[in-house]
A and B are shown apart, each in its own frame.
Chain A
């Protein structure tokens, strides 16, 4: 993903979504098979569990030009690895506040629980995130410039 000059007007938010294999990714799949429409601004990265998401992944996504990041996994109590999502919860909460403290708008980082049956919830998650990030404008704080 290369960073170019992106004018506010022609701006389409780029969202990176880290989805757990068992729930959120399945939910995204369901949204597809149900032919629910949601904005095409999302790049999905499938992981086995939301607990696999290292805070560094999110920092890297922003460095590489993401305007917003979603981490989504199974509902509390339903993680296929017992409590990966609960650990993700603490990591994302602290990271989001750290980012917030240095001036990265909180809406750019989102944590959500989406089950395999929640195709509609997934579509809505994307829609709200895209709208909110669109309103914030492109991520300009610390994207890497092209070398």
Chain B
């Protein structure tokens, strides 16, 4: 069955994607359910500001531009700004409120940031994913701030009996220059609140040259002090009176279930109070709990010890034979045969046949686990038909909907308090852990914390997909690439929402496959079938990771075969600095953004390559055993290029003396956090490249903790990571930051290893391949 034809199956799923260009709201309208939640839509076009559009209003519940919702001013002058997006380390709790403070002329030292609960009718879309926060909210947050400022100015003008045009808000005060009078925001708060909210169309936004905070990067994150003294509150840190602690033994195989269990030994463990079954949903189960057996105790340690003493008989269900070795062979087999054509220009078969040389690269990327430092955890307190949740969720609004549906209570009766997230990376877009806590609390009649152990996180998560990317490049006598066939085969995220999803969804195909930007005459992209045997989910950067790895490794292979410099080859493939026309692609997806505002721009792609090459010293001579590699990738409508220098010793030990990475994310808000995200992306990209691999045998994940699923540590991290932000062109719209740094890292590293050793690595992780 095609998931796209059955909107009822899309609950939760459609929150994150545009399905066939149908927004969730229009799906709702089609079903005759509800609509009209959007209070106001952002209007971007006005003199002096970028006339750009984003996909923000197509997200579930769209955008709300209303200062009364987001800003309050106390009589002592304290300005409270609501953060309606989740903080998982990107700095969004700082950056979005900073935009409001900038426009309203608030003094940042007198601003408090408060986290909004899940309520998308009130706040607009809250799905903190897809690297969307700044690109969707820069303009709305400016408008909210400008609106609040206008209300304060209007109140002051009224009090003084002067025209509003004569007063001006300056750093937490409104000033009347002609008379020299001034009055603080706090003194105006009550009057301003009584005034009308100005229309968005009439708002006067600040001239960017007057910005005090935006684009400066001089402000620390709002939670900095709390984090360093240990009082920052994450999901795991929530404590309620009478709260029970639970851990759950979940089916070791996706789609499995409990046949029987024996809990008497567990009950003997000191501190254990109860053993009970947790409801599971049939596979594929979307964000619903997997089910299993819960141990309830007075503390987490007792619950874990109790769980170790459980005896459970499982029915493994349909995925009990999932085996990573066999599955890889299956994917490779599929990649060697024609598949569903998803992009076609020219005649790739003929061009490959007539090519002087054909280079074939087959690239493998295994499953990977998010392993955010804070494993999933949630607290729920369900009383009758009301529920309150405290959880580190990326999707506050979606969690509220799902809790309401799961418990069968109205959404209005559910409060979702969003704590800080100890990392998210897409894992915490799925609220199964909060639903588990809600179900247990309902049964126990007490508040419950469900804590996932690291093993649970690795074995029962929503993994990054596993994929084979096969590229054939045809080269003519002059060394020009004339043919490009890319087959991408990987189980789709759609399989987590509907049985029988064998092809990747538009939002996956649009991440580095059909949007391949090179100027080549004959191009064909294909997507052979792949069935999923475990839960597949979004992982920071998603399909861009395997695609950039394949495409940018292939550029390195072509450069070598045609004896050219990697960077020159890259620029030649990108071609002339023009906007790419992709009429041949039925659904480009384009990260949900309108193409006019966010086209694939070869000029920007070239520029970011040239920028990093210049700043990062491309072509510098390096010692023996060292090598330089480069890669570029557009994702989340941003452009990133990365240079890695590696050193490989005689024993095959790999070190990274230096990484240079350049990002063009258009107009930017907080360069200091952009830098932090790029630094972090390098580390995560290196984890993908070096060590990260989740494998299955007999349907079970074979890894369980950081010993057998290692991630990069400080002693393996680059000696230096330099980050450069490409200055945006005038009025370039803001684009993604959280995710796009990751994809170029692995291929730049792999190309560097080739330069250093002559070894071409086509399967990640590198593991021991350099030791051979």
Q: Are A and B associated in one complex?
A: no
